């Protein structure tokens, strides 16, 4: 048995591939375009593993997809590949439309052609699992109930609009063509291999370098946080037992204001790697807010808990401690991802 994972060299995809290789006997084909966010180092521990095969390529390359599907005959596609950073989508939305919308369309068409050709015995077991985000639902007021799977789509950024479009395509390919799809909409992940353009890893690497910790606006925006390994276990549960055509919200029941997240990271660093200059919170700096910044996300994860028996294994306290420790233990990984392109982005976004 084989699965095809797109975007498997990125943050969540690489955690998923590593867990899959450790927990199953199945072969994994990772397809990744290695954009600035893709990093083969993340999968270095699989070097020489015959059950893992890495392919450098684009999900918008139909000929490559046809060849990969025909050659490896996967029983499932788990689709992570995307442009994923909201701030980058504000500076340059084109890449988000190209990969998240057109790329997902191309992947769906290749999957449909492949699935149609499959023999009757395996066709009904095939699955296309689309990994999406809670951001498609828009922003919540402070007292509004958390997002359920039937919450209307109200995307507010080019990123979330492109993901919402991809969710709609996936839904339509099931409704119209019968493609056996599953969709997950997850909240903010954190953990190992998180690229330091996103809030938590950026705060860790900046604090360690004695640089400002940029908090957008008043820092009171709320996100729900889930340790990445718990997202991976949710995806495994949906792939194994999810009802075809259904959407599952995935979240950690951990609503936190950004400022509280930053203060928690600072307190952990004060404990684990104290600075001679004083507490890391001295570096907190309020900067201009993100345009169109969503104020609050919250996930109602009762459906996946009820139907599939999934629960997160980590609390925020255990997960964030593991995460900070991981960054302290991997200085070489941190140094390598801070390339010239990374420095250019930091200059453009924060200067
Ligand atoms: P990431 O940016 O870290 O990784 C994306 C990966 O996709 C990279 O390896 C990149 O090289 C690859 N990629 C980009 N364009 C490609 C293309 N055209 N063809 C092939 N590969 C391509 O993203 P992430 O944070 O790991 O997110 C993975 C998925 O999960 C995304 O679909 C994202 O929308 C979704 N998601 C992320 C979060 C989160 O908190 N990070 C939460 C919910 C959902
Ligand atoms: O909700 C799920 C989404 O979470 C995923 O779909 C996205 O791919 C992922 O990037 C993430 O989006 P966010 O915009 O919530 O994540 P980010 O880490 O960029 O920002 C988290 C919050 O922190 C957000 O309110 C903006 C704020 N922030 C972010 C950065 C990078 C700051 O205050 N300062 C910063 O420098």
- Give the ligand 2 atom nearest the CA of 85: 10
Residue nearest to atom 34 of ligand 2 (CA): 215
Partners of 28 in the β-ladder: 3, 52
Mean pLDDT by 10 residues, the chain (351 residues): 98 98 97 97 97 98 98 98 98 98 99 97 96 98 98 98 99 98 98 98 98 98 98 98 98 97 98 98 98 98 98 98 98 95 95 87
Residue nearest to atom 37 of ligand 1 (CA): 133
Examine residue 328 and state whether it is found in any structural domain, yes or no.
no
Q: Is 195 in the pocket of ligand 1 (CB under 6 A)?
A: yes
- The Cα-based distances of 295 to 146, 179, 198, 226, 318 in angstroms read 13, 35, 17, 18, 26
Block residue for tokens 């899959």: 20
CATH at 174: 3.40.50.720
pLDDT tens column, 265-298: 999 999 999 999 999 999 999 999 999 999 999 9
Examine residue 75 and state whether it is found in any structural domain, yes or no.
yes
CB-CB contact of 290 with 217 (8 Å): yes
Q: 7: CA distance to ligand 2 center in Å?
A: 19
Examine residue 307 and state whether it is found in any structural domain, yes or no.
yes
Instruction: Considering every ligand atom shown, identify the ligand nearest to the alpha carbon of residue 202 and give its number.
Output: 2
**pLDDT given at position 338:** 94
Q: 196: CA distance to ligand 2 center in Å?
A: 11
Examine residue 112 and state whether it is found in any structural domain, yes or no.
yes
Examine residue 332 and state whether it is found in any structural domain, yes or no.
no
**pLDDT given at position 351:** 87
Cβ-Cβ contacts under 8 Å for 22 (sequence gap 6 or more):
none
Q: Is 52 left (phi over 0), alpha (psi -120 to 50) or beta?
A: beta
- Ligand 2 pocket list (CB less than 6 A): 84-86, 133-135, 187-188, 198-199, 202, 214-216, 221, 223, 258, 290, 297
Examine residue 199 and state whether it is found in any structural domain, yes or no.
no
Q: 1: CA distance to ligand 2 center in Å?
A: 36
Q: 199: CA distance to ligand 2 center in Å?
A: 6
Catalytic residues: 134-135, 159
**Count of domains in the chain?**
1
Torsion sign over Cα 229, 227, 167, 89: negative
Examine residue 256 and state whether it is found in any structural domain, yes or no.
no
Residue nearest to atom 1 of ligand 1 (CA): 10
- Give the ligand 2 atom nearest the CA of 87: 19
Dist CA 71 CA 218 (whole Å): 52
Q: Is 189 in the pocket of ligand 1 (CB under 6 A)?
A: yes
| Domain interval for residue 119 | 2-190+227-251+296-313
CB atoms within 10 A of CB 251: 27
Examine residue 198 and state whether it is found in any structural domain, yes or no.
no
Closest CA to 46 of 59, 33, 29: 29
pLDDT tens column, 293-351: 999 999 999 999 999 999 999 999 999 999 999 999 999 999 999 998 999 999 999 98
**pLDDT given at position 133:** 98
């Amino acid at each position: 048995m084989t699965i095809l994972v797109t975007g498997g060299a990125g943050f969540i995809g690489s955690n998923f591939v590593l867990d899959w290789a450790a927990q199953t006997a199945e072969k994994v084909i990772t397809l990744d375009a290695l954009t600035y966010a893709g990093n083969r180092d993340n999968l270095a521990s699989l070097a020489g593993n015959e059950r893992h095969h890495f392919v450098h390529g684009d999900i918008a390359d139909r000929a490559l997809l046809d060849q990969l599907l025909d050659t490896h005959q996967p029983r499932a596609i788990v689709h992570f590949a995307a442009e994923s950073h909201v701030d980058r989508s504000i500076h340059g939305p084109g890449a988000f439309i190209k990969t998240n919308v057109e790329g997902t369309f191309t992947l769906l068409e290749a999957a449909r052609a492949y699935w149609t050709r499959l023999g009757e015995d395996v066709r009904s077991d095939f699955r296309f699992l689309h990994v999406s985000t809670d951001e498609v639902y828009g922003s919540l007021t402070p007292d509004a109930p958390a997002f359920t799977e039937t919450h209307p789509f109200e995307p507010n950024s080019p990123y979330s609009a492109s993901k919402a479009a991809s969710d709609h395509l996936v839904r339509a390919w099931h409704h119209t063509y019968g493609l056996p799809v599953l969709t997950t909409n997850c909240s903010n992940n954190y953990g190992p291999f998180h690229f330091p353009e996103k809030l938590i890893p950026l705060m860790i690497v900046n604090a360690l370098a004695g640089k400002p910790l940029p908090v957008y606006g008043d820092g009171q925006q709320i996100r729900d946080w889930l340790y990445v390994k718990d997202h991976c276990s949710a995806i495994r549960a949906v792939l194994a037992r999810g009802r075809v055509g259904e959407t599952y919200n995935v979240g950690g029941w951990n609503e936190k204001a950004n400022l509280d997240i930053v203060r928690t990271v600072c307190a952990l660093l004060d404990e684990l790697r104290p600075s001679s200059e004083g507490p890391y919170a001295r570096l907190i700096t309020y900067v201009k807010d993100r345009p169109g910044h969503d104020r609050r996300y919250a996930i109602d994860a009762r459906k996946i808990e009820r139907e599939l028996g999934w629960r997160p294994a980590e609390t925020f306290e255990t997960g964030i401690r593991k995460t900070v420790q991981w960054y302290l233990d991997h200085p070489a990984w941190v140094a390598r991802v801070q390339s010239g392109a990374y420095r250019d982005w930091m200059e453009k976004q924060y200067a």
